[in-house]
Amino acid sequence: MASQQRKAISVLSMNTIAFTACFAVWVMFSIIGIPIKQLLTLNDTQFGLLIATPILTGSLVRLPVGMLTDKFGGRIVYFVLMCAMLIPLWFIGDATQYWQFLVLGLFVGIAGASFSVGIAYTARWFPKEKQGFAMGIFGAGNAGAALTKFVAPTLVVTYGWTMVPKVYAVGMAVVVILFWMFTYEDPEHKVSKTITIKDQLAALKDPRVWKYCQYYSLVFGGFVGLS
Three-class secondary structure of residue 213 per DSSP: helix
Q: Are 120 and 11 in contact (CB under 8 A)?
A: no
Distance CA 30, CA 47 (A): 10
Looking at residue 129, its pLDDT comes to 92
Q: Say if 216 falls within a structural domain.
A: no
**How many other CB atoms are found less than 10 A from the CB of residue 119?**
22
Q: Angle, nearest 10°, between helix axes 98-108 and 74-91? A: 160
Domain membership of residue 209 (yes or no) is no
pLDDT at position 206 is 92
- Other beta carbons within 10 Å of 2: 11
pLDDT of residue 226: 80
Q: Which range marks the domain in which residue 58 is found?
A: 4-191
What sign results for the dihedral spanned by CA atoms 165, 87, 70, 9?
A: negative
Q: Position 164: which residue type?
A: V
pLDDT at 193: 73
User: Is residue 219, in this structure, part of any structural domain at all?
Assistant: no
Please report, for the domain that includes residue 53, its CATH number.
1.20.1250.20
- Number of neighbouring beta carbons within 10 Å of residue 146: 14
* 222 domain residue, yes or no: no
Please state the domain count of the chain: 1
Residues of the chain with pLDDT under 50: none
C-alpha to C-alpha distance for 166 and 147, rounded to whole angstroms: 16
- Whether 111 is in a domain gets the answer yes
- Measured CA to CA, the distance from residue 106 to residue 100 in angstroms comes to 10
Q: Is 30 inside a domain boundary?
A: yes
In-domain check, residue 227: no
Q: What is the pLDDT of residue 1?
A: 57
CA atoms within 13 A on the CB side of 54: 30
| Predicted local confidence at residue 8, as pLDDT | 94
| 225 occurs within a structural domain | no
Radius of gyration of the chain (CA): 18
